Chains A and B, each alone.
Chain A
């Protein structure tokens, strides 16, 4: 089980960030997500595996300094 946006979602072995967004039907072009305290950028979505029990945050925008 993982937690995303205050919801519990099922977790499976090898689940990547790209898998998660696809499973959620999420179409918004999130540039970044955070897994616990680690920030993951879109270029790394397909190769970043989410661990079980993780809390995932979908970061809506990167606005610069």
Chain B
């Protein structure tokens, strides 16, 4: 066991409220600079408009910051919430926490949806949300003990730096012999030394007798955490049953939960086997459909992709129950036992690795031209241990590798490293450098947007080419799907509020493979409905996987199979059973629409949230280079001919690249028009006053932001 010392700085007693219909009825505000704890009531209007989870987080964050607040200002808050349905043990996927803060890489509100026990335990300890402000240099731990009803600030000395070791010692210390009663949130040295830090949320795996992790990965939330001087958040709670939320209709809830659990237990083995192989099945499927990013999103398939497929990871994963919340039958959080890293501080020692999932395999594998499953596992392990986001690490290193191969940078800029595609040791070395904040890794750890500036100014790299191939939008690195052939998914990424993460909309198969939305209006409708419904999971403390990764056999007979409307109906019943607030499927969309538009206006308040901020690099839209074009020449030539009535014969590849670009960029702008109109926004991408009134978010500060940005009553859609 690692050496450490904990010194109590301040502690408070509090009276824990009973949970009523999924709500604790109060939030907890912690100012770590002034060492104060404060509880604030959750009123009916807050529940009605913001529902919970991400909605509560955003409302708290809005009140905490001003339009001038930067990510590293003390008033920037980290907000963590479960949601009214969160913590229900019989209902699959009901243990999520949602985290928000102002992002170091985007400057706007960032949100991340993460498993582990923290959010539910926080709520059962008496708080619908936790808001942390302030800064300190004292290596603080915030401890919330829901059993003894104590809040405590502690200073950690000599504790381990990496997240795995820290979580283990804190779970042991605070668990008092009952480690399952503890959940820890921590970052790591990578979060401290980069802008792409993640947070690790833990739960205790009683069968394996060890702490396990899921990550709130995107947008540098871990960096804000580390910069505040926080080392960990710890919550303690005891027994959880279906009645702990005191649902309005427990019998209906139990019946619905059992029905859903049974369906998953029956169908998942016949469908994607997520309880056995997680999301690894996606690797070969994406490669087969030309959708697996390889070599910095240049290409969508690779002959060695099978080396990273589920058939390789299936025997590597440690068999057993892998739910990141109690009783979840999806149970997709697999891990690797007794992995021995070849590099870094754990070199030669057996470790347990939580993962990898599809995103990490594609980001730290195929997108880097690395097709060695063990290197991916090692990247996964060290990113978690250091508190780094595997997606931003992967996409960022992929960008650097392409810059190196195209001669935009050379080994004099990289500290002597040959950062070429497929160079496994270089990729791992960069991760270790990021953790230490040194050498070229320190530059990569700033994220692609800042890297583009640095490489142009210090290495003479071509800024226009970097703009085309640097896969970031709004400052956030792309997650791991190719979008060149799916206009709808270009919108799914480009119009996502926080930046290009697929959790708002994943429309590639509907659009590209099934061709179910050929018109702009159909794409716009999908880019309305799917982001709204997916947002709803984050409001309630839920995981979206049970909704559409395991589907009923008769779903294919429904009018719109992609919506899996039977499950949407079940979720409406679930919401009603817990909260007592009667809801139909359309009501769930309306709930999300209010919060979604509020977040868009929050972006606007922070200086973003307009049409110009929804642009994406051309690599996401079409072929940037001659090699990309010629690798799919037949496809692109026929598109020029059939869609744009341009005869490709006699034209050079360079000319065809330019023509295709003009057409495709124009289509993307037309898509924006259609989506803004569908969402009730102006042509500049701002919600109209009529829209915010319809959604019931016409709060005075919201209206003030719109008016300050020139939105007036007569502005039509």
Residues of A within 8 A of B (CB): 5, 28-29, 31-32, 34, 37-39, 41-44, 57, 59-65
Report B253-274 CB contacts with A as 1/0, cut-off 8 Å: 0000000000000000011110
Contacts A60-B553, A63-B548 aside, 15 further interface pairs with beta carbons under 8 A come to A5-B270, A31-B289, A31-B514, A39-B284, A39-B310, A41-B284, A41-B289, A57-B270, A59-B271, A62-B282, A64-B481, A65-B358, A65-B359, A65-B480, A65-B502
Complex contacts, A42 vs chain B, CB 8 Å: 288-289, 513
Contacts of A65 in B (CB 8 A): 279, 282, 357-359, 479-480, 502-503, 506
Contacts of A43 in B (CB 8 A): 288-289
- List which B91-142 residues lie within 8 A (CB) of chain A: none
Q: Is the CB of B281 within 8 A of A39?
A: yes
Chain A to chain B contacts (Cβ below 8 Å), 21 pairs:
A31-B509, A32-B285, A34-B273, A37-B311, A38-B311, A39-B281, A41-B289, A42-B288, A43-B288, A57-B271, A60-B551, A60-B561, A61-B548, A61-B551, A61-B561, A61-B564, A62-B282, A63-B509, A63-B549, A65-B358, A65-B480
| Chain A residue nearest in CB terms to B287 | A41
CA–CA, A57 and B309, complex, Å: 18
Q: Point out the residues of chain A lying under 8 angstroms from B514, CB to CB.
A: 29, 31
Question: Is A28 within 8 A of B513, CB to CB?
Answer: no
Q: Which residues of B contact A38 (CB under 8 A)?
A: 311
Which residue in chain A gives the minimum CB-CB distance to B271? A59
Closest to B555 in A: A60
The answer on a CB contact under 8 Å between B358 and A60 is no
Min CB–CB distance B279 → chain A (angstroms): 6
Of all chain A residues, which has the CB nearest B516?
Answer: A29
Is B163 an interface residue when CB atoms closer than 8 A count as contact? Answer: no
- Please encode chain B, from 275 to 311, with 1 for each CB lying within 8 Å of some chain A CB and 0 for all others: 0000101101100110000000000000000000111
Report the minimum CB–CB distance from B616 to chain A (whole Å).
18
Kindly identify which residue among B279, B285, B506, B564 contacts A41, using a CB–CB cutoff of 8 Å: B285
Q: Which residues of A contact B502 (CB under 8 A)?
A: 64-65
Which residues of B sit under 8 angstroms from A31, Cβ to Cβ? 285, 289, 509, 513-514
Give chain B interface residues in 350-388, CB to chain A under 8 Å: 357-359
- Specify the chain B residue showing the minimal Cβ separation from A44: B288
**Which of these, B285, B479, B480, B555, contacts A62 with CB under 8 Å?**
B285
CB distance from A53 to the nearest CB of B (A): 17
Q: Which residues of A contact B357 (CB under 8 A)?
A: 65
Assuming the contacts A62-B509, A64-B506, A65-B479, asked whether A28 and B285 have C-beta atoms less than 8 A apart, the reply is no
A35 nearest CB across to chain B (Å): 12
Report the contact-size class of chain B (Cβ under 8 Å from the partner). 35 or more
The verdict on B314 contacting chain A, using a C-beta distance below 8 Å, is: yes
Chain A residues closer than 8 Å to B553, beta-carbon distance: 5, 60
Bound Cα distance from A31 to B511, whole angstroms: 13
A16 to chain B, nearest CB (A): 15
A25 to chain B, nearest CB (A): 14
Q: A6 to chain B: closest CB distance in Å? A: 9
Q: Least Cβ distance of A26 to chain B in Å? A: 10
- Nearest 8 Cβ contacts at the A-B interface: A64-B506, A41-B288, A63-B548, A28-B556, A57-B270, A63-B549, A60-B551, A41-B285
CA distance A41 to B288 in the complex (A): 6
Q: When the two chains form their complex, are residues A63 and B506 in contact, meaning their CB atoms are under 8 A apart?
A: yes
Complex Cα distance A1/B285, Å?
27
> Are A60 and B506 in contact, CB atoms less than 8 angstroms apart?
no
For residue B307, give the distance in angstroms from its CB to the closest CB of chain A. 15
Q: Is B80 an interface residue (CB 8 A)?
A: no
Nearest CB of B to A40, in Å: 8
Q: How far is the CA of A33 from the CA of B219 in the complex (A)?
A: 35
In angstroms, how far is the closest chain B Cβ from the Cβ of A45?
10
- Establish whether residues A61 and B562, one from each chain, have CB atoms under 8 Å apart when the complex forms: yes
B442 in the interface, Cβ–Cβ < 8 Å? Answer: no
Determine how close the nearest CB of chain B comes to the CB of A47; give it in whole angstroms: 12
In the bound assembly, the distance between CA atoms of A44 and B480 in angstroms comes to: 23
Chain A residues lying within 8 Å of B506, measured Cβ to Cβ, are 63-65
Cβ of B32 within 8 Å of any chain A Cβ, yes or no, is no
Query: Given the complex, which residues of A lie within 8 Å of B548, measured CB to CB?
Result: 61, 63
Q: B508 at the A/B interface (Cβ < 8 Å)?
A: yes
Bound Cα distance A38, B508 (Å): 22
Inter-chain contacts of A62 with B (CB < 8 A) = 282, 285, 509
Interface string of B543-564 (1 = CB under 8 A from A): 0000011010101100001101
Cross-chain contact of B285 among A5, A39, A60 (Cβ < 8 A): A39
Closest to A64 in B: B506
B566 to chain A: closest CB distance in Å?
A: 12
Measured between beta carbons, the chain A residues less than 8 angstroms from B555 are: 60-61
The winner among A31, A32, A38, A39 for most chain B CB atoms within 10 A is A39
Task: Determine the distance from Cα of A32 to Cα of B309 in the docked complex, in whole angstroms.
Answer: 15
CA distance A61 to B516 in the complex (A): 14
Contact residues in B for A28 (Cβ distance below 8 Å): 556
Taken together as a complex, chains A and B put the C-alpha atoms of A34 and B314 apart, in Å, by: 14
Tell me, in angstroms, the Cα distance from A64 to B270 when the chains sit together: 17
Distance A43 CA – B556 CA, assembled complex (angstroms): 20
Which residues of chain B are within 8 angstroms of A32 by Cβ–Cβ distance?
A: 285
